Chains A and B, each alone.
Chain A
Amino acid sequence: MTDAVQPIAKSQETGFHLPRRWPVRLACLVLLLLAVAAVAGPWISPYHPDQMELARRLQPPGSDHWFGTDHLGRDILSRLIAGVRVSLGSVAVTLGLILTLGIVIGGIAGFAGGRADRFIMRVADVFLTFPTLVLALFMIGVLGTGLVNVIVAIALSHWAWYARIVRCIVLSLRHREFLLAARLSGAGPVRTFIEHLLPATFSQLVVLATLDIGHIMLHVSGLSFLGLGIAPPTAEWGVMISDARQFVWTAPLLILWPGLALFVSVTAFNILGDALRDRLDPHLKAEHGH
């Protein structure tokens, strides 16, 4: 996440300092811990996440296993740490895909104008109004189950918000003098777009993307929980919740940890997104409701 925040820090002359409010500080701390877990996971986790020890299955939290073990004797803490990488990794790929789709399609719509623009925006409207989960379910039905297809399905159900923002900004700046000057000095439409229009969309796109991270994480885990995304034995939080469901009565803590990890991560990203929005883009609030 930190590298996504960077461009704003540079664009604001005053510099980007962390807000003093404690929830934002706490959220940043959580995100820092997540980043450490994602990068250094294999070195800091006490066990291998898939290492089974059937003799020590369903252990309560203790000194060997801080969070206990699951039904196959795997260490919960190690699996939670491994889950961070899966979760953040799939979010990063999904966001990359969404941003690419949104920027390219929105840019084309804004630049082309006329019929092409009207057609693209009609298609975008369908994607904007249609419930994301039903859309994702259908896309998985077309493409098949698995993580890659889930990522594609989620990206296809989110790009329209980004395309709309990019298109709006392109439309509002299209006739400004600096663009005319760029065109006159021989820059083609692609170069004009990348060098002169894209930077103007950054702050809005970053705010929307940060607010969407939690949403995407919930989607990936939810679909994996249903058995359509990441398949067990991979250590992913949704899969862990699904694994733990048969032990709700005997080992209720099993289902608590992965859900808590998911909830805390999503909350941290949402707090950061809210803080960024208040700072950069107060108008987005009412627009983006899903």
Chain B
Amino acid sequence: MLAFIVRRLLLLVPMLLAASIVIFLMLRLGPSDPAMDYLRLSKVPPTQEALETARRMLGLDLPIVSQYLDWLGKALTLDFGTSYATQRPVLPDLIHYLPATLQLAGSALALTLALSIPMGMWAARHREGWPDQVVRLVAFVGVSMPNFWLGFLLVLVFSVHLGWLPPMGRGGLAHLVMPVVAISFMSLSINARLLRASMLEAAGQRHVRYARLRGLSENRIERAHILRNAWLPIITAMGMHVGELIGGTLVIESIFGWPGVGRYAVSAIMNRDYPVIQCFTLAMVTIFVICNLIVDIVYAWADPRIRLAGEDAA
């Protein structure tokens, strides 16, 4: 198990390097001229002379390989350049905004798990009964609901009408409720449906029938014989949900005035502020890859077939 984790951790290095090359190349080979954007954002009139100076200063006159190596060398010392728009170093700003985003996305993940698992189990237990219908309806609404509109609906009901929850800002638990619900509704709907389907599939297998013949209680069968198998697709899907939850967080932040990376990134994208876009994308890739690594480790741990095979190999 330890060897497996170490191997996967080492694999992260080439993966992130490849990601950084792709991100760097695509931004450089894109249709617009970084020097031009630099001048526009620093409010310097774009004369030929100013363009040349900016090109030289930003290193854009060098061949693209040495530009990348130059960037990589600085990135390894945690220097990701300065924002064209604010003239401030990118990384400290990003790190300043990141915890708020991670708090929101993490809470959304927790809510997704906490609601979708009981919902899926409940629906599977009462297949075709009214609980199943209720869960199906909720899940159907969930996958069709625009998350940003749901955010405003919640504000309308709980802030404007009832005055129970604060409509904006970051603070205590009350500030967290509406954005987290808006972010996680879609993922928890998908997850509840997936768990229901996967439990029903596991329940149809022969070892479950055998367990029933042995006279085990339904509770025990569900816990020890169905859920243990039904878990696995859910864990795999978690990797995907983490990505969708991060994406949802970036959108929802703008509705609730949440001081996270979402607004920082969106304004950088609008301004074509290259160093920020580059650093932001790389940060998202890193977070996403690490989350998927955790998912893989949990999967290997939860599935003895993989866990034991790994130990044999090691």
Q: What residues of chain A have their CB less than 8 Å away from a CB belonging to chain B?
A: 129-134, 137-138, 140-145, 214, 218, 221-222, 225-228, 238, 241, 245, 248-249, 252, 255-256, 258-259, 262-263, 266-267, 270-271, 285-286, 289-290
Contacts and interface: CB of A to CB of B under 8 A. Distances in A.
Contact of A252 (B31, B156, B277): B156
Contacts of A218: 146-147
B244 A290 contact: yes
Interface string B216-252: 0000000000000000010001011011101110110
Given A248-B160, A289-B190, 8 more contacts: A131-B246, A137-B265, A138-B26, A144-B32, A144-B272, A263-B146, A270-B144, A286-B197
B304 interface: no
Contacts of A262: 146, 149
B281 A141 contact: yes
A266 B250 CA distance: 21
A145 B271 CA distance: 9
A289 B194 contact: yes
A8 B126 CA distance: 35
B75 interface: no
A228 B255 CA distance: 15
Nearest to B239: A129
B82 interface: no
Contacts of A131: 240, 242-244, 246-247, 284, 288
A137 B197 contact: no
B6 interface: no
A289 B235 CA distance: 13
Contacts of A227: 266, 270
A290 B146 contact: no
Contacts, number: 127
A263 B145 contact: yes
Contacts of B277: 138, 141
B292 interface: yes
B152 A255 contact: yes
B240 A141 contact: no
A133 B190 CA distance: 17
Interface string B153-177: 1011000100000010000000000
Interface of B: 23, 26-27, 30-32, 140-141, 143-149, 152-153, 155-156, 160, 167, 190, 194, 197-198, 233, 237, 239-240, 242-244, 246-248, 250-251, 254-255, 265-266, 268-270, 272, 277, 281, 284-285, 288, 292
B64 to A, nearest CB: 15
Contacts of B149: 241, 255, 258-259, 262-263
A225 B266 CA distance: 11
A222 B292 contact: no
A126 B104 CA distance: 25
A190 to B, nearest CB: 29
B250 A143 contact: no
Contacts of A221: 146
A219 to B, nearest CB: 10
Given A132-B247, A143-B30, A143-B31, A267 B140 contact: yes
Contact of B269 (A132, A140, A266): A140
B164 to A, nearest CB: 15
B146 A133 contact: no
Contacts of B243: 129-132, 134
A132 B241 CA distance: 11
Given A134-B247, A263-B144, A267-B140, A228 B194 contact: no
Residue of A132, A133, A142, A270 most packed against chain B (CB within 10 A)? A142
B273 to A, nearest CB: 9
B140 A142 contact: no
Nearest to B284: A134
Nearest to A133: B247
A222 B249 CA distance: 12
B27 A141 contact: yes
Given A130-B288, A245-B255, A289-B194, A270 B140 contact: yes
B308 to A, nearest CB: 25
Q: Which 8 A-B pairs have the closest CB atoms?
A: A131-B243, A133-B247, A259-B149, A141-B277, A267-B144, A142-B30, A266-B144, A141-B269
A137 B237 CA distance: 22
A27 to B, nearest CB: 11
A114 to B, nearest CB: 22
A241 B266 contact: no
